Amino acid sequence: MPLLTNSTYRPPLWARNAHVNTVLSAIGRQVTDITYERERLTTPDDDFLDLDWFRSGNKRLLVVLHGLEGSTDRPYMRGMVRCAGDNNWDALALNFRGCSGEDNRQVRTYHMGETSDLNYVVWYALEKRNYASVALAGFSLGGNVVLMYLGRDRSDVPDAVVGGVAFSVPCHIPSANDCINNWENAVYRYRFMRTLNQKLRQKAMRFPEVLPNPAVKSTDFFSFDDYFTAPVHGFSDAQDYWESCSSLLYLPDIQKPTLLINAWDDTFLSRECYPEKLAAKHPSFYLEVPRWGGHVGFYTPGERYFWSEKRALEFLNSIS
């Protein structure tokens, strides 16, 4: 049964606070010994995706997806790419639309359930770059995209995709957003909303026929998603978007080996984000719940690789 009950992650005592683990992993680490090769890929709707490659001639490719308002330069992204490159994988770090330092061309951007760009990149890597196999790794929002792709969109996934790993995923979005609104997450919420509002104002000035109020400012995810994410991407409102894009609904449909790692102390996640009963009976969906780790944390001081990176490669090597 793929419910993994004995996680090996053991941070030092001083890193067993969820916020310490989360913050240290984000700002207390630099991964500077890799150099990306940037490629701009034009999409079928005349937009672009900025791909950051790290290649050494391997036939296996790991595609890595970042979280909300992240980019390929976040330490967790660079760390995962480096670990893959050191262990006989090529890596492709995908910047979601509008996250590479330049606003994308279309009014649409990215969201929790937007998988068409991932699918386009996977097929591009297989057909144009001639990889024999592809694996996926995603963090937070990017992890939800991976799970949606492997579950909801399973019929579109190429046979060469061997499976995936997802970390710190709010797989039940409505209840996870209740957690984000708790006082202890106020600083994180503020940082998210600051950059989202900046991008929204840019969009409103460029697309006044779609977004008529360039001065709009949201203070929480509900107001932002209700005004922008939902209508722009074809949902009736924020609640429809959250419910439709909760990967928890589609985990039973996953057919390729997939590992979800959600730390038990992650302050972004509700109890619905730990689908233990499903994992206990599902042949392909694995769930690991470390006691500690925070949100996209798993701080591992003094080592080249974080525990999360070693754990991802261990799992992916076992299925490829």
* Residue of 71, 226, 266, 270 with catalytic role: 266
Residue ranges making up the domain that contains 159: 3-172+246-319
Instruction: Give, for 161, the enclosing helix (H) or strand (E).
Output: strand 161-167
Q: What is the CATH number of the domain that holds 117?
A: 3.40.50.1820
What pLDDT does 95 receive? 98
Radius of gyration of the chain (CA): 18
What pLDDT does 271 receive? 97
Same domain? 237 vs 293 = no
The two structure tokens encoding residue 156: 């579109």
User: Dihedral sign, CA of 225, 261, 114, 87?
Assistant: positive
User: Pick from 175, 171, 178, 173: which is nearest to 248 by CA?
Assistant: 171
Q: Is 123 exposed, middle or buried (0-12, 13-18, 19+ CB in 10 A)?
A: middle
Q: Is 177 inside any structural domain?
A: no
- The predicted-structure confidence for 245-271, as pLDDT tens digits, reads as follows 999 999 999 999 999 999 999 999 999
Same domain? 137 vs 283 = yes
Same domain? 86 vs 110 = yes
- Boundary of a domain, candidates 224, 245, 266: 245
Same domain? 119 vs 154 = yes
140 in active site? yes
Same domain? 115 vs 129 = yes
Say if residues 25 and 95 touch (Cβ distance below 8 Å). Answer: no
pLDDT at 74 over 90: yes
In percent, the amount of the chain with pLDDT more than 70 equals 100
Same domain? 115 vs 212 = no
Same domain? 93 vs 218 = no
- The predicted-structure confidence for 97-133, as pLDDT tens digits, reads as follows 999 999 999 999 999 999 999 999 999 999 999 999 9
Q: Is 281 inside any structural domain?
A: yes
66 in active site? no
What pLDDT does 51 receive? 98
The two structure tokens encoding residue 227: 């005004």
**pLDDT-based confidence at residue 233 (cuts at 50, 70, 90):** very high
**pLDDT-based confidence at residue 4 (cuts at 50, 70, 90):** confident
Same domain? 138 vs 97 = yes
Say which amino acid occupies 237. Answer: D
- Boundary of a domain, candidates 194, 224, 245: 245
The rounded distance, in Å, linking the Cα atoms of 274 and 119 is: 26
| Average pLDDT rounded to a whole number, residues 53-73 | 97
Q: Is 109 inside any structural domain?
A: yes
Q: Is 193 inside any structural domain?
A: yes
Same domain? 143 vs 26 = yes
Say if residues 234 and 210 touch (Cβ distance below 8 Å). Answer: no
pLDDT at 1 over 60: no
The rounded distance, in Å, linking the Cα atoms of 278 and 227 is: 34
- Boundary of a domain, candidates 222, 245, 268: 245
7 in active site? no
How many domains, in total, are found in the chain?
Answer: 2
Q: Is 222 inside any structural domain?
A: yes
Q: Is 225 inside any structural domain?
A: yes
**pLDDT-based confidence at residue 311 (cuts at 50, 70, 90):** very high
What pLDDT does 5 receive? 79
Same domain? 238 vs 251 = no
Q: Is 147 inside any structural domain?
A: yes
Same domain? 139 vs 222 = no
Same domain? 160 vs 102 = yes
* Residue of 71, 111, 295, 308 with catalytic role: 295
- The predicted-structure confidence for 139-151, as pLDDT tens digits, reads as follows 999 999 999 999 9
* Residue of 140, 246, 270, 308 with catalytic role: 140
- The predicted-structure confidence for 155-172, as pLDDT tens digits, reads as follows 999 999 999 999 999 999
Say if residues 261 and 171 touch (Cβ distance below 8 Å). Answer: no
